[in-house]
Amino acid sequence: MKPKTLPPIAALARSPDPLADRHTLLRRLTVERPESRHLEWKLAIPLGRDSTPRSKYRMVKSVIAFANTDVGFVVFGVDTRGSWVGLSDSDLAKADPATFQELINSCVTPEIPGMSIAELEYGTHRFLILYVPPSSRMPHVTTKEVFDDVDASAERSFSQSGPFIAVTGQSPIWRPQNTTKE
């Protein structure tokens, strides 16, 4: 009997409840390489005293990009090469959904509704996944200065109200907003 083919990550992300079938989602996520238009890996959860502004805003940029483009998953506990490292109990303890929502929506306008968080287990390790649903309220834009960490030597910054979009195989990128009225 031929094994059942896994649905693409985009199809899972667009399903009515993408976190409901965690077994299928986890199987798909563990074979995904590299990051994509619908998937972003983060090694650490950017909450708590140990997190840096850079790590917080890198996550916020990803969330904005998914909300402005389509849908997506941010998986915490996976390095940028796609190695499933896992999170500690103390990391997971600081992963309060309300804190995620507060951090993201303190940097974004309009607010991004409907995000959800779930814990996944893979082998002996645990991970956290943040689901960003499609948004009918886009474009979502930044409301704070967010520094470009891709090219720190240039010391560029994204101005307030800069929208982000997701591009296949790349980190979220900033596209200037046309502010002139026709």
Express each pLDDT in 122-136 by its tens digit. 999 999 999 999 888
3-state secondary structure string, 109-153? ECCCCCCEEEEEEECCEEEEEEEECCCCCCCCEECCCEECCCCHH
Indicate if the pLDDT at residue 14 is higher than 50: yes
pLDDT digits 0-9 by tens, 40-61: 999 999 988 878 888 888 899 8
Tell me, what amino acid is at 37? R
Domains and CATH numbers, the chain: 34-174 (3.30.950)
> In this structure, what DSSP letter does residue 87 have?
B
Q: Between these two residues, 157 and 131, which has the higher pLDDT value? A: 131
